[in-house]
Structure 1
Amino acid sequence: MWGLFFLALTVVATSSAQQQYYNRYDNVNADSIVQNERVLLAYYKCVMDKGPCTKDGRNFKRVLPETLSTACGRCSPKQKAIVRTLLLGIRAKSEPRFNELLDKYDPDRSNRDDLYKFLVTGN
C-alpha cells in the first residue's frame, strides 16, 4: 500500500517537472496506506536516510523536496487530496517524525506556511 503512496507522489512530482499530469494513481486509497504503520515507518526511514529504500522509496525520496516546496502546487485536485491525506496521516502518527521530515526537506522553513495552509485547506 505504501508503495502506491510513494508511486503516487512520484507521479505527481514527475508530472510537475514535466508540467503535465498523470492520473495513474489518482484512485489510491490513501486512508488504508496511512493505517499500515510498519510500511509507513519503513518509508520514513528511507526518506530520512535511516534505513534501506525500496525502488518506490527511492522515487519518493527524489520527488519529496519538490512536493513539499510547492505545497503540491502542480498537483491535480485528486493528487492534492491524496498527498494531503498522506501527510496528515504521517503527522497524526508521529508529530516529531513529521517535523523531522519537514526540517530535512525544508530546512530554512521557506515554504512552511504554504505547506501548513495546504494541509488545512487542501489548496
Structure 2
Amino acid sequence: RRKMKPKYFILSLSLTMSLTLAYELMYDDTYYESILKNERLFNGLLECLLSDDVCSNPVFQQLKDLSPEIIETICGKCTEKQKMNFKNSTVKFKKDRPVDYDHVLTKYDPENKFRGPLEDFLNS
C-alpha cells in the first residue's frame, strides 16, 4: 500500500480547507438584498446565470458554478446565515421577477426534480 507523502497531504488538506473557507466567507459577505435592489447588478447576475459563457464578474461566476448544487441540496452546505440569505433573496426574486425565476430554475433543474423541495423550503 502506497502512503501519501506528508507534503502532498498537507497541500491537499490546505486546498480543501481554503476552498471550504472561501465558499463560506464569500457567501456570508455577499449582500444579496443589495444585488436584488440594484437593477444593473441583478441583470448582470441574471445574464451570467442564464448564459453558457464564463461570466466577467468572478462572484457571479462562483454563484453560477454553485447554483446546481445549491438548488439540488437546497443550500445543504450553507451556514445558517447563508441559508437565510438564500431563502430571503430567492423569495424576493420569485416575487419580483417570476418569469426570470422560472427561467433560472428551468436551466438548473430542467427535470423539475428539486422544485418541490425548494418551494417547501421557501414557504417554511
Q: Is the 8 A contact 1:45 1:51 kept in 2?
A: no
Name the CA distance, whole Å, in 1 between partners of 2:66 and 2:100. Answer: 18
Deviation at 1:22, TM superposition (A): 2.7
TM-score for both structures, normalised by structure 2 = 0.72
TM-score for both structures, normalised by structure 1 = 0.72
2:38 corresponds, among 36, 39, 43, to 36
Q: Unpaired segments of 5 or more residues in structure 2?
A: 1-18
Query: Which residue of 1 is the match for residue 111 of structure 2?
Result: 108
Name the CA distance, whole Å, in 1 between partners of 2:51 and 2:24. Answer: 28
Q: Which runs of 4+ in 1 moved over 4 A?
A: none
**RMSD of aligned Cα (Å):** 2.4
Q: Unpaired segments of 5 or more residues in structure 1?
A: 1-13
Max radius of gyration: which structure?
2
Within 5 Å, give how 1:2-21 maps onto structure 2. Answer: 15=20
Q: Which has the higher contact order (CA 8 A, sep 6+)?
A: 1
Deviation at 1:48, TM superposition (A): 0.3
